[in-house]
Amino acid sequence: MWSSGRRAGAATLLAPTWSIRPVAPLASSALVPFVGAGILVLVWSLVSLRFHVTVFPSPLETVQEAARLLSNAELFQHTGASLFRLFLGFALGSALAIPVGFGMGLFLFVRRMMEPITEFFRFIPAIALVVFALIWFGIGESSKVFLIVYNAFFTVAMNTEAGVAHVLPNRMRAVQSLGGGRWDTFCLVVVPSVVPYILTGMRLGMGRSFATIVSAEILAANSGLGYLIYSSREYSKMDTVVVAILLLGALGLLADRLFRGLTRRLAGGYLPAGDATGS
Amino acid sequence: MHAAEFGRVEKAYPGRDGRPAPPAIADFTLAIREQEFFCLLGPSGCGKTTALTLLAGFEAPTAGEILHRGTPVQGPGADRGVIFQGDDSLMPWLTARDNILLGPRIRRMPRDLQQERAERLLALVGLKDHGHKYPRELSGGMKQRIQIARVLANEPDMLLMDEPFAALDAQTRAQMQEELVRIWSGARTTVLFITHDVQEALVLADRVGLMRAGPASAIRDVLAVDLPRPRDRTDPSLVSLYRHIQGILAEEVAGREALP
Amino acid sequence: MRRAAWKVSELALPYGLTVLLLVSLWEFASRRINPLFFPGPTTVWRSFLALASGDLAAHVGVSLVRILTGFLLGSLVGIPLGLLMGGIPVIRRLLDGTVEFFRFIPPIAMIVLAVVWFGTGEASKVFLIIFSTVFLVTVNTEDGVYHVVRNRIRAVQAMGAGPWDVFRLVILPSAVPHALTGMRIAMGNAFSTIVSAEMIVADRGIGFLLQDSRLFLRTGHIFVALVALGLLGFATDRVFRILIARFGGEYVVVR
């Protein structure tokens, strides 16, 4: 993720001298990650031999179940329901958070006024608010979307603020001395500098939002991947559970990589460090 | 026997897409005498650092032979102390004193001797009262002094210095050069000093090795600097040597730029 | 860090203003809205007194023990695994994809499997916390090892250091702030996970308290539980921040 120039590739780490180099070709083979996954599937198969499918489904049983779920619309509906909540909540939460974050970064007084709020709420896990969300919004869509909004808001606001704080003064001065006014400075320097931070905030908030939505759907919903997992428990359909878990992992990974790719593109190859504590 | 010998050394790094790139140095031959102060001088990108990296043993040459006191270099070792260009080789989590003591600790020196040695070296590099400080609390010049002390704590046969003063301001640099000469006069280890600063080479070196412009660089000339120390930068014979070397370097750079 | 420089007197006005604004808004809202939906400060204070003399400490204690057990076990696996993956290319390439994938599975999604495998007791909750912890700690420790500054390794090698010295003197200290950063994030996630898990299957713990209070519409109790959670999260986070700063973790990147 960082330039490898000044950093040690791991090959140099434990090799005391260059005389023990022959390890390298094995490690650099493109097949190695697949061997790793292969070993995992093998172990999974061996363990599953000892258990019934209702306790520990085998890889084959899982694949068969995945095929069954894909053949009817059920899996798509649940996935769609979860993703819809996630994206709606994320869009709303970010839309609220970005102006607040800019306000906090640009104006000292706003920052100081917001601090007690952010410092307090970011340590309350979103899922703990599910009880209020249910009381306030009922068990419909709005309670789940509310939780994601909450989740996204603090992470995105705090990372936006950090981005504004990290704008390089000399870049602003450069634009000013080229004849740019406040608006030019904002558009040409502040915004492009902050966008990668906003995206990093969104990326970090995304992982938590997945966890939140799954919990919320387990506790109170009749659709979504969390609901699918929890309802499968009643019929001991552990194969369905495993399919849903793997799907969640894949979706989370995909979302992370999309945000990373976007951030890198917009930041010229640089991925800013984020503050992951924002709720 | 020489302190170090390069015999027709070549070093090529893999290119961007794995295809072989032109070598950084090729047919590089050089002998460094015992106890001499040798400066390797050349335009930027000519492979000076590559030569040092190979003698330090951090990387292996792709062809040729490198000897240290007659034995082939097999890897890094305590007999060749390395002083790096930047300050990133100091451990930020250790104080100046503990950074100096890294070598003695690696070599399992008795504790009372360690402390004694650390104090002596801190005094030698003029940082007697700064041993408890962390690298981030020290200035650039102080950090390079710590690097020098850290290497001397190991009593190496040879100091390999990779543009150690390049990042310092002109005043500090001149001061560090004087002190290096003073320390070297006392310790009398062999020094291989890399620089792209002609004046620095002339103030410090017994002999100066001039490199060709890269790639596939090698030694072009070796000049002896027979002037008493401490040297005066405005000494007419030093100035005329300076002009002579500048002329050669300009030729090298122009020659490289003339290439297609 | 930059906030630490501010004087208390400068902070009093904006902080006081915000708190005053929030509390009055809160009081106002609770008078307009059914207090069952939105309890006012007085209701919450009474709930606090009731809980403080009753079960609050017990619930908090149960949740904390679960978190700490799982967190320590997870770190005990994650740190050595991260060191191995960072230091040995073959191991990294074997496991990187797998660990990276598992990192994105929300731990709470494992709850059904956890209950089937380990029952409804403590073991399933500890398992979920281990799952929340282990991958984050592994990945961040690995990052720390992988991004060790090359010249530091070279410097000790040129002092005669062997592989063990390089590990002990350079790699391990370089990895510590990264490992701590992973642990800090993992701790935050562990709180989320344990609350969810206790809401779903438990008869004790803060999550249970929340769920139980919801079922009986004791909204004052819910507020108290939320504040307790916030304070616990804040305290543990501070501990990790202090530790990271102590070990020179200024350059740490969150992965």
Summarised one tens digit per residue, pLDDT across range A268-279 is 655 666 554 433
| Beta-bridge partner residues of B158 | B80, B190
Greatest Cα-to-Cα distance within chain A, rounded to the nearest angstrom: 75
With beta carbons less than 8 A apart as the criterion, state whether A10 and C89 touch.
Answer: yes
With beta carbons less than 8 A apart as the criterion, state whether A219 and C200 touch.
Answer: yes
Average pLDDT value for residue range A251-265? 89
Give the pair of three-digit tokens for residue B43: 């335009």
Residue A279: is it exposed, middle or buried by C-beta count within 10 angstroms (0-12/13-18/19+)?
Answer: buried
Which of A121, A253, A273 is closest, CB to CB, to C253?
Answer: A273
What is the reported pLDDT for A7? Answer: 43
Greatest Cα-to-Cα distance within chain C, rounded to the nearest angstrom: 75
The residue extents of the domains of chain C are 55-251
* Inter-chain touch A37–C97, beta carbons under 8 Å: yes
Residue B84: name the closest of B24, B160, B25 by CA: B160
- Phi, psi angle pair for B82, to nearest 5°: -115, 130
For A112, name the nearest residue in chain C, comparing CA atoms only.
Answer: C14
Tell me the pairing of strands B190-195 and B158-162: parallel
Q: Give the integer Cα–Cα distance in Å for C45 and C59.
A: 18
With beta carbons less than 8 A apart as the criterion, state whether B152 and B183 touch.
Answer: yes
Q: What is the DSSP string of A75-143?
A: HHHHHHHHHHHHHHHHHHHHHHHHHHHHHHHH-HHHHHHHHHHHHHHTTS-GGGGHHHHHHHHTTSHHH
Q: Is the pLDDT of residue A181 over 80?
A: no
With beta carbons less than 8 A apart as the criterion, state whether C162 and A21 touch.
Answer: no
Q: Is the pLDDT of residue A167 over 50?
A: yes
Q: Is the pLDDT of residue A14 over 50?
A: no
* Inter-chain touch A277–C237, beta carbons under 8 Å: yes
Alpha-carbon gap: C97 to the closest alpha carbon of chain A (Å): 6
- In the chain, the amino acid numbered B73 is V
Q: Is C156 on the interface with B (CB under 8 A)?
A: yes
* Inter-chain touch A276–C219, beta carbons under 8 Å: no
Residues A227 and A128 in one domain: yes
The helix, strand and coil proportions of chain B, stated in percent and rounded to the nearest 5, come to 40, 20, 40
Q: What is the DSSP string of B50-62?
A: HHHHHHHTSS--S
With beta carbons less than 8 A apart as the criterion, state whether B149 and B122 touch.
Answer: yes
Q: Is the pLDDT of residue B210 over 80?
A: yes
In a domain, A278, yes or no: no
Which of B76, B91, B93 is closest, CB to CB, to C158?
Answer: B76
With beta carbons less than 8 A apart as the criterion, state whether A185 and A172 touch.
Answer: yes
Q: Which of chain C's residues have a Cβ under 8 Å away from the Cβ of A236?
A: 116
pLDDT in tens, A224-234: 999 999 999 88
Chain C: touching chains (3 or more CB pairs < 8 Å): A, B
Residues A80 and A40 in one domain: no
Q: Is the pLDDT of residue A123 over 90?
A: no
**DSSP tag of A190:** I
Q: Give the integer Cα–Cα distance in Å for B126 and B140.
A: 14
What is the reported pLDDT for A3? Answer: 29
Q: Is the pLDDT of residue B38 over 80?
A: yes
In a domain, A182, yes or no: yes
What is the reported pLDDT for A254? Answer: 93
Q: Is B57 on the interface with A (CB under 8 A)?
A: yes
For C149, name the nearest residue in chain A, comparing CA atoms only.
Answer: A7
What is the reported pLDDT for B105? Answer: 86
Q: Is B89 on the interface with C (CB under 8 A)?
A: yes
Q: Which of chain A's residues have a Cβ under 8 Å away from the Cβ of C104?
A: 207, 210, 248-253, 256
User: Which pLDDT band, with edges at 50, 70 and 90, does B20 fall under?
Assistant: confident
* Inter-chain touch A18–B57, beta carbons under 8 Å: yes
Q: Which of chain A's residues have a Cβ under 8 Å away from the Cβ of B13?
A: none
pLDDT in tens, B104-144: 888 888 888 899 999 999 999 999 999 999 888 899 999 99
- Mutation target vs B (from C151, C159, C169; most B CBs, 10 A cutoff): C159
Average pLDDT value for residue range A130-143? 85
In a domain, A273, yes or no: no
Residues A157 and A80 in one domain: yes
In a domain, A3, yes or no: no
Residue C85: name the closest of C173, C172, C146 by CA: C146
In a domain, A83, yes or no: yes
Q: Is the pLDDT of residue A72 over 90?
A: no
Alpha-carbon gap: B155 to the closest alpha carbon of chain C (Å): 10
**CATH, range C55-251:** 1.10.3720.10
Q: Is B60 on the interface with A (CB under 8 A)?
A: yes
pLDDT in tens, B166-196: 888 999 999 999 999 999 988 889 999 999 9
Average pLDDT value for residue range A20-25? 41
User: Which pLDDT band, with edges at 50, 70 and 90, does A1 fall under?
Assistant: very low
With beta carbons less than 8 A apart as the criterion, state whether B49 and B195 touch.
Answer: no
Helix (H, G, I), strand (E, B) or coil at B192: strand
What is the reported pLDDT for B215? Answer: 83
Alpha-carbon gap: A7 to the closest alpha carbon of chain B (Å): 10
Residue B55: name the closest of B91, B31, B88 by CA: B31
* Inter-chain touch B93–C173, beta carbons under 8 Å: yes
What is the reported pLDDT for C41? Answer: 79
| C25 or B160, greater pLDDT | B160
**DSSP tag of A27:** H
Query: How open is the CA angle C163-C167-C173, to the nearest 5 degrees?
Result: 160
For B83, name the nearest residue in chain C, comparing CA atoms only.
Answer: C155
Q: Which of chain A's residues have a Cβ under 8 Å away from the Cβ of B88?
A: 6
* Inter-chain touch C109–A225, beta carbons under 8 Å: yes
Residues A254 and A164 in one domain: yes
Q: How many Å is the Cα radius of gyration of chain C?
A: 22
For chains B and C, CB pairs below 8 A equal 66
Residues A113 and A209 in one domain: yes
Alpha-carbon gap: A17 to the closest alpha carbon of chain B (Å): 5
Query: How open is the CA angle A38-A42-A43, to the nearest 5 degrees?
Result: 120
Q: Give the integer Cα–Cα distance in Å for B174 and B180.
A: 10
Query: How open is the CA angle A205-A206-A208, to the nearest 5 degrees?
Result: 70
What is the reported pLDDT for B138? Answer: 92
Q: Is B151 on the interface with C (CB under 8 A)?
A: yes
Q: Is the pLDDT of residue A18 over 70?
A: no
Q: Give the integer Cα–Cα distance in Å for C198 and C195.
A: 5
Q: Which of chain C's residues have a Cβ under 8 Å away from the Cβ of B86?
A: 151
Q: Is the pLDDT of residue B11 over 50?
A: yes
Q: Is the pLDDT of residue B234 over 70?
A: yes
Give the pair of three-digit tokens for residue C77: 């696996």
Alpha-carbon gap: A19 to the closest alpha carbon of chain B (Å): 7
Q: Is the pLDDT of residue A19 over 70?
A: no
- Mutation target vs A (from C112, C120, C191, C199; most A CBs, 10 A cutoff): C112
pLDDT in tens, C124-148: 999 999 999 999 999 999 988 988 8
Residues A51 and A82 in one domain: no
What is the reported pLDDT for C251? Answer: 43
Residues A173 and A237 in one domain: yes
What is the reported pLDDT for B259? Answer: 57
Residues A184 and A144 in one domain: yes
- Mutation target vs A (from C105, C116, C185, C227; most A CBs, 10 A cutoff): C105
Residue A156: name the closest of A213, A203, A189, A190 by CA: A203
How far CA C86 is from CA of A105, B115, B216, C167, C244, in Å, comes to: 36, 34, 35, 11, 20
* Inter-chain touch B57–A16, beta carbons under 8 Å: no
Residues A16 and A134 in one domain: no
* Inter-chain touch C104–A32, beta carbons under 8 Å: no
Q: Which of chain A's residues have a Cβ under 8 Å away from the Cβ of B18?
A: none
Q: How many independent structural domains does chain A possess?
A: 2
Block residue for tokens 């230091």:
C87
Which of B77, B88, B154 is closest, CB to CB, to C149?
Answer: B88
For C153, name the nearest residue in chain B, comparing CA atoms only.
Answer: B89
Give the pair of three-digit tokens for residue C5: 């420089």
Terminal-to-terminal C-alpha distance of chain C: 21
CATH number for position A262: 1.10.3720.10
ipTM score over 0.85, yes or no: no
What is the reported pLDDT for A29? Answer: 65
Q: Pinpoint the alpha helices (H) of chain C.
A: 8-32, 41-52, 56-87, 89-103, 111-118, 122-146, 150-157, 163-166, 172-200, 206-215, 219-246
With beta carbons less than 8 A apart as the criterion, state whether C136 and C186 touch.
Answer: yes
What is the reported pLDDT for A11? Answer: 38
Which range marks the domain in which residue A52 is found? 10-57
Q: Is the pLDDT of residue A48 over 90?
A: no
What is the reported pLDDT for C89? Answer: 84
Alpha-carbon torsion, ordered A221, A225, A228, A229, to 10 deg: -110
Residue C4: is it exposed, middle or buried by C-beta count within 10 angstroms (0-12/13-18/19+)?
Answer: exposed
Q: Which of chain A's residues have a Cβ under 8 Å away from the Cβ of C107?
A: 211
| Spatial strand order in the sheet of B25-32 | B25-32, B4-11, B63-68, B71-72
In a domain, A27, yes or no: yes
For A216, name the nearest residue in chain C, comparing CA atoms only.
Answer: C196
Alpha-carbon gap: A180 to the closest alpha carbon of chain C (Å): 29
Which of C152, C158, C173 is closest, CB to CB, to B56?
Answer: C158
Alpha-carbon gap: A189 to the closest alpha carbon of chain C (Å): 22
- Residues with pLDDT less than 50, chain C: 1-5, 250-255
Q: Is B162 on the interface with C (CB under 8 A)?
A: no
Residues A43 and A79 in one domain: no
For C248, name the nearest residue in chain B, comparing CA atoms only.
Answer: B93
Residues A124 and A261 in one domain: yes
Residues A47 and A78 in one domain: no
For chains A and C, CB pairs below 8 A equal 244
In a domain, A67, yes or no: no
